[in-house]
């Protein structure tokens, strides 16, 4: 929301006050080798091997199965067929087994779905589900421990490995922190080891298959005006049930929440945007909105670059300026067992630890109830400065989009003129010398300077 003078100052102060209630850590100085690739803030992938063949898979805490696209050499066919339907897209194919290499662990005879390449599935891609094994479609088909999800297999065969994973998502084009992201099994990422001292948020039951869900505090969203958004829901004791999903680009919230975040911004509107399946708020790209989420009294500020994102663009406004999208997308979740899905735009602001507890299939002893821990990693002052630096980049990018048609037309015209001149010169040269005697030496070639540079528009 673009504000000036006293209102802007008060809104900013309220955000700082909320964030100051918990110690915040910066992303800088992260040690270790990142295992995650960030593709435009819309997908986070890592590499696995199946029988030594490498696949680049999406890390997805919202599903529980492994599938890859393409043939796995030497894989054994179980005679079963598996299928998984995701929020966007699906997979279906024979269930096979092979030796899985993942995060330094080796799992023999790991069950997976082998998807044939097609227009919707690219060779070498896939998804590794990191959700509770009880929601595995493959396990339902195999119906014994050999069909268990990869993480269940890892925790069972490596009894000294703690039953938790952590996820750290980086932010593309962040002017101060360029870390792509990381994923760990049974250990934390430096310097965020203190995540293990954060409040343990119990994993709640879900009526539509178990997911990584927990309860947010009552009215646990602080809006752009520094006030709590009314999210009362009597069915869950006035607290919303929240699912954490690394496979969702845009967090999914109710219409009421989205309206309270974006509805009062001048020029904002709910619209259809190419590449996004359902309506989403569009608004000026220089809109800085500061919101926070609260879990067990821990305030987690969201970076304004994540509240309003330029990963997608809406239609130009009335003045011909580009619009960006509000990342917290309004959606109606019916009979899902949870009220909000906090995807990538939220998770870039919180280091996430998920302890599987007794959700590991076949556990021989009680290891405790599953829980979630969150560590806030966005520092409000730095986030504001980041946004100020990035606004000019967004505007330049938008300007290029605005005049793209003129640039393209101009390039075509210029190319036609150059081609005409080349043909004319060639014709004049050939008309002066129509033949060459057999004993006349072949002319030397022009010097080579490598490939011509690609044109950028």
Pair 124, 238 in one domain: no
Whole-model pTM? Answer: 0.80
Query: Do 46 and 37 touch, CB atoms closer than 8 A?
Result: yes
Say yes or no: 120 and 72 in one domain.
yes
Residues 201 and 325 in one domain: yes
Would you say residue 172 lies in a domain? no
Query: Residues 289, 327: one domain?
Result: yes
Same domain, 355 and 256: yes
Looking at the domain assignment, is residue 171 inside a domain? no
Question: Does 278 share its domain with 356?
Answer: yes
User: Rounded to an integer, what distance in angstroms lies between the CA atom of residue 104 and that of residue 117?
Assistant: 27
Q: Are 118 and 200 found together in one domain?
A: no
For position 440, what pLDDT does the model report? 33
* Residue 362, pLDDT score: 52
Residue 379 is assigned to a structural domain of this protein = yes
User: Is-contact 171 177, C-beta < 8 A?
Assistant: yes
Q: Which of 131, 157, 183 is the last residue of a domain?
A: 157
For the chain of 457 residues, list the mean pLDDT of each consecutive stretch of 10: 41 46 41 75 96 98 97 98 94 98 96 97 98 93 90 90 95 89 95 97 79 96 97 78 96 96 96 94 96 98 97 89 95 84 98 89 64 97 95 64 43 50 48 34 30 27
Q: How many domains is the chain built from?
A: 2
CATH of the domain at 76: 2.40.70.10
Which helix (H) or strand (E) covers residue 128, if one does?
strand 126-129
- pLDDT of res. 145: 84
Q: What is the pLDDT of residue 19?
A: 43
Question: Residue 421 has what pLDDT?
Answer: 53
Assess if residue 151 is contained within a domain: yes
Residue 62: per-residue pLDDT: 94
Q: Is residue 178 part of a domain?
A: no
DSSP string for 22-84? S----STT--S----EEETTTEEEEEEEETTEEEEEEEETT---EEEES--TTPEEEEEEEEE
Same domain, 41 and 17: no
246 and 335 share a domain?
yes
| 197 shares a domain with 152 | no
Last residue of a domain, one of 139, 157, 175: 157
- Is residue 216 within 8 Å of 227, Cβ to Cβ? no
Q: In terms of residue numbers, what domain contains 198?
A: 5-21+191-402
| pLDDT score recorded for residue 232 | 81
Structural domain contains residue 418: no
Domain boundary among 402, 424, 439: 402
Residue 246 and residue 297 in one domain: yes
Asked whether residue 274 falls in the same domain as residue 391, the answer is yes
What distance in Å separates the CA atoms of residue 382 and residue 364, rounded to the nearest whole number? 47
Examine residue 167 and state whether it is found in any structural domain, yes or no: no
The pLDDT value recorded for residue 420 is 56
Q: Measured between alpha carbons, how far is 389 from 173 in angstroms, rounded to an integer?
A: 10
Q: Does residue 170 belong to any structural domain of this protein?
A: no
């Amino acid at each position: 929301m673009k504000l000036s003078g006293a209102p802007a100052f008060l809104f900013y102060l309220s955000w700082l006050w909320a964030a100051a209630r918990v110690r915040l850590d910066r992303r800088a100085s992260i040690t270790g080798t990142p295992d995650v690739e960030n593709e435009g803030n819309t997908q986070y992938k890592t590499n696995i091997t199946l029988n030594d063949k490498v696949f680049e898979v999406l890390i997805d805490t919202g599903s529980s199965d492994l599938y890859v696209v393409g043939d796995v050499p030497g894989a054994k066919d179980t005679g079963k067929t598996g299928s998984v339907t995701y929020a966007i897209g699906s997979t279906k194919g024979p269930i096979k087994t092979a030796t899985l290499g993942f995060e330094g662990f080796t799992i023999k005879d790991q069950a997976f779905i082998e998807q044939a390449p097609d227009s919707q599935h690219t060779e070498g891609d896939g998804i590794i589900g990191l959700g509770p094994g009880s929601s595995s479609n493959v396990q339902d088909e195999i119906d014994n421990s050999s069909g268990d999800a990869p993480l269940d297999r890892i925790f069972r065969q490596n009894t000294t490995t703690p039953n938790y994973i952590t996820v750290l998502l980086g932010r593309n084009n962040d002017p101060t922190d360029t870390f792509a992201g990381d994923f760990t099994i049974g250990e934390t990422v430096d310097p965020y080891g203190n995540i293990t001292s954060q409040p343990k948020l119990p994993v709640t039951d879900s009526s539509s298959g178990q997911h990584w869900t927990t309860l947010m505090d009552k009215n646990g969203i602080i809006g752009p005006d520094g006030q709590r958004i009314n999210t009362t829901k009597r069915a869950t004791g006035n607290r919303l049930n929240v699912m954490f999903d690394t496979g969702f680009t845009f967090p999914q919230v109710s219409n009421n929440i989205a309206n309270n975040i974006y509805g009062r911004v001048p020029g904002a509107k709910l619209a259809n945007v190419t590449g996004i399946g359902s309506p989403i708020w569009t608004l000026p790209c220089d809109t800085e909105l500061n919101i926070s989420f609260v879990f067990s009294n821990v305030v987690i500020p969201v970076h304004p670059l994540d509240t309003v994102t330029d990963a997608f663009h809406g239609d130009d406004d009335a003045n011909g300026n580009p619009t960006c999208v509000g990342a917290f997308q309004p959606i109606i979740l019916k009979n899902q067992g949870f009220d909000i899905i906090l995807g990538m735009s939220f998770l870039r602001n919180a280091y996430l630890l998920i302890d599987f507890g007794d959700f590991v299939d076949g556990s021989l002893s009680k290891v405790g109830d599953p829980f979630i821990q969150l560590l806030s990693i966005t520092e409000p002052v730095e986030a504001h400065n980041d946004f100020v630096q990035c606004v000019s980049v967004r505007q330049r990018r938008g300007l290029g989009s605005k005049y793209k048609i003129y640039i393209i037309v101009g390039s075509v015209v210029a190319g036609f003129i150059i081609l005409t001149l080349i043909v004319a010169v060639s014709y004049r040269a050939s008309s002066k010398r129509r033949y060459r005697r057999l004993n006349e030496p072949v002319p030397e070639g022009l010097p080579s300077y490598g490939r011509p540079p690609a044109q950028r528009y």
